[in-house]
Amino acid sequence: MDGDVTGTTSSGAAELDRQVDRLVEVGHPALAGLTEDAFRERLAPLHAVVPDDPADPPDPADPADPPPDQAMGFLLVVTAALVPTVAAVETWRVRGKAGWTDMADELAGFRPVPEVAVGLPDATAYLLLDVRTGRDTLGVRPSEAQPGILAAGRTPLTIDEGVALVTQRPDVFTTHHAFQALGSRADNARVPSFWVSKGAPRLGWCWWNNPHSWLGAASAAGRRGPA
């Protein structure tokens, strides 16, 4: 696995522009019911809070570095309040196959867990910092992975954030591994999960107490809303 997988430039502003361009490319303005100009204007305030230099990827040659599973130094998250989840999922492409989900009727029941909800920006778009796909939690039950994430001062991803990650980095499944978004839960034992199923990228679910060797618990260092 390559250590340098951030795909970012040394300029945070340039990286944010690249991510906005990516959303425009896959059709998010229309999905949000906005013109391209209006969509870009909606996201423009995030330039005031973008990191100047996105976090460097870990060095796989340095045993003191964490596992090389960093997906992005920062990630632009557009929430379902602006672009509906199912519509966003259907823009994904992996090896020519479109994204899909069989959770359309369940999505409204998923909410941020309390530990995450207190730190969520009150905005339809924000930045997620130092995003990792959870290589160190492969094969670990979500119920056991989440306390470790919180104890490390990090935060599990929500469904919105998982959708944003695959939208920006569809190669995450090939350069990293599948992942789960432990930061969103419903009144059941299901955990939102992102993987390739039937050859196509999928938003689905797995059980809270079931370990999977191919699913990591994705996490981030924090969030920044618009100024």
pLDDT at 130 (0 to 100) = 96
Q: What does the pLDDT look like over 182-200, one tens digit per residue?
A: 999 998 889 999 999 999 9
**Per-residue pLDDT at 120:** 96
Flag the least confident range among 7-16, 30-39, 102-111. Answer: 7-16
Over residues 196-215, the pLDDT tens digits come to: 999 999 999 999 999 999 99
At 111 the pLDDT is 94
Percent of the chain with pLDDT over 70: 88
61 is a domain residue? yes
* pLDDT tens profile 38-47: 999 999 999 9
Q: What is the pLDDT of residue 59?
A: 44
- Count of structural domains, the chain: 1
Classify residue 178: in a domain, yes or no.
Answer: yes
> In this predicted model, what pLDDT tens digit does every residue of 114-131 receive, in sequence order?
999 999 999 999 999 999
Residue-range definition of the domain harbouring residue 144? 12-224
Q: Which of 1-15, 18-32, 63-77, 194-208 has the lowest mean pLDDT?
A: 1-15
Which of 48 and 59 is assigned the larger pLDDT? 48
Give the model's pLDDT for residue 167. 98
Q: For the segment 52-105, what is each residue's pLDDT rounded down to a tens digit?
A: 866 544 444 444 444 556 678 999 999 999 999 999 999 999 999 999 999 999
The answer to whether residue 146 sits within a structural domain is yes
Angstrom CA distances, 94 to 24, 29, 118, 189, 217, stand at 18, 21, 34, 28, 21
Residue 10 has pLDDT above 90, yes or no: no
Residue 1, pLDDT score: 29
In a domain, 93, yes or no: yes
